[in-house]
Amino acid sequence: MSLDRLLVSVTRSGGVTGMRVQRAVDLDAVDADEAAAWRRLLADDAVRRPTTPARAVPDGYVYQLACEADDLDVTVAEQQLPAEHRTLLARAVRPG
């Protein structure tokens, strides 16, 4: 897996309104700490090989993550992710 230059597409859907939000994150355009957090997320088995949740969470968010350079295209329920990753993804799709 090459992590030299990565563009990550993040799509969040679900929630109370069911709204779909899509953003792209260029790891060369964020600070070093943020880029390191993204690299941890991209390397995490919880992201790379998500399991089916034990039970659905009503109005829960679902994230689709795609990164061509990292050969990644997955969909994962927010509840399956560690807190660090949930915070990072929520920040990525926040308006502004």
> Look-up: residue for tokens 């957090």?
37
Question: How confident is the model at residue 1, as a pLDDT?
Answer: 47
Q: What is the pLDDT of residues 33-82, one digit of tens each?
A: 999 999 999 999 989 988 876 566 888 999 999 999 888 999 999 998 99
Q: Rounded to whole angstroms, how far apart are CA atoms 15 and 66?
A: 20
Residue 2 has pLDDT above 70, yes or no: no
Helix (H) or strand (E) holding 88: helix 83-93
What is this structure's pTM?
0.86
